[in-house]
Amino acid sequence: MLGSPYTCFDAENYGTLLVVDPEEEFHPEEIEKLQIDIKEKGLSLLLFADWYDTEVMDRVNFYDENTQQWWRPVTGGSNIPALNDLLEPFGIAFGDRVFDGNIRIGIWICVRPLYPCFPTDVNNFFVL
């Protein structure tokens, strides 16, 4: 687990960078470094992202008994706008459509877990 900015690791020591459920923004310096790491140093990037939809976020307001206030999520399950900033140099973009249900891949069916699981869609994907 990387406990520092993405500018603070040497990509030559790793084969793949896993980014799991990011909620923070990517700083321009991090985006630039990761772009170099991927394009020039051969680093692979594997993303695990959850849903993002402003209409859904509006519907999941909740009342916090501790603060005695209504809260609205700042981001969805993942910060898709920040991921799109990171992926833009590669021609990849996630969308804001939220899906619910079972996924069928060949003969396998992935049944939705008991907890809410809302994947997002991929809007753009260009092979470099």
- For the chain, counts of helices (H) and of strands (E): 3, 8
Reported as type and span, the H/E element at residue 59 is helix 54-59
53 is a domain residue: yes
Phi, psi of 96 (to 5 degrees): -115, 15
**Structural domain range at position 41:** 6-123
Q: If you average pLDDT over each of 18-27, 30-39, 70-79, 111-120, which comes out highest?
A: 30-39
128 is a domain residue: no
pTM for the model: 0.68
Whether the predicted pLDDT of 62 surpasses 60:
yes
Question: What are the pLDDT digits (tens) for 97-114?
Answer: 766 666 666 665 555 443
84 is a domain residue: yes
Residue 63 CB burial class (10 angstroms; 0-12, 13-18, ≥19): exposed
39 is a domain residue: yes
Number of domains in the chain: 1
